[in-house]
Amino acid sequence: MSGGAKLDAATALRAAALKSELQRLAEETEDPDLVRAARAAARRPSGRPAINDAAAVAEVRKLVATGQARSFRAVCWKVARTKPGNRRSTAERLRRKVVAEDNAKKCAT
């Protein structure tokens, strides 16, 4: 898994079963590759956990749609002011997420 990726319940259950089976096989066979894979599966994912900005992204989209700011960047700053943390990085993160979603929608069509 990549750092902070959320799994639905069924996928999380399958992942847990896979980790368990990998651990069992590693102990049973003592195969160095299986032991290494079992250790890697048991570790916490590296990197920062993902930040759930779904509500903030929806707010950005709503403000853009209603024309309540001078520019797209201004909308991102407006929403970022309501969030904890560094406003500049929050505004930039929101901007990137909205643009990425828009690009994904364009590619899907």
Looking at the structure, tell me whether residues 84 and 102 fall in a common domain.
yes
Burial 50-74 (b: 16+ CB within 10 A, else e): eeebeebbebbeebbeeeebeeeee
80/43 same-domain check = no
Same domain membership, residue 46 and residue 59: no
92 and 104 in one domain? yes
Amino acid at 72: F
| pLDDT, tens digit (0-9, with 9 covering 90-100), for 3-57 | 445 667 888 888 889 889 999 999 999 999 999 999 988 887 778 888 899 999 9
Residue 98: partners with Cβ closer than 8 Å, 6 or more residues away: 57, 60, 61, 72, 76
Q: Which domain holds residue 9?
A: 1-50
User: How many domains are there within the chain?
Assistant: 2
Supply the DSSP symbol for 44.
Answer: P
Residues 33 and 14 in one domain: yes
pTM: 0.58
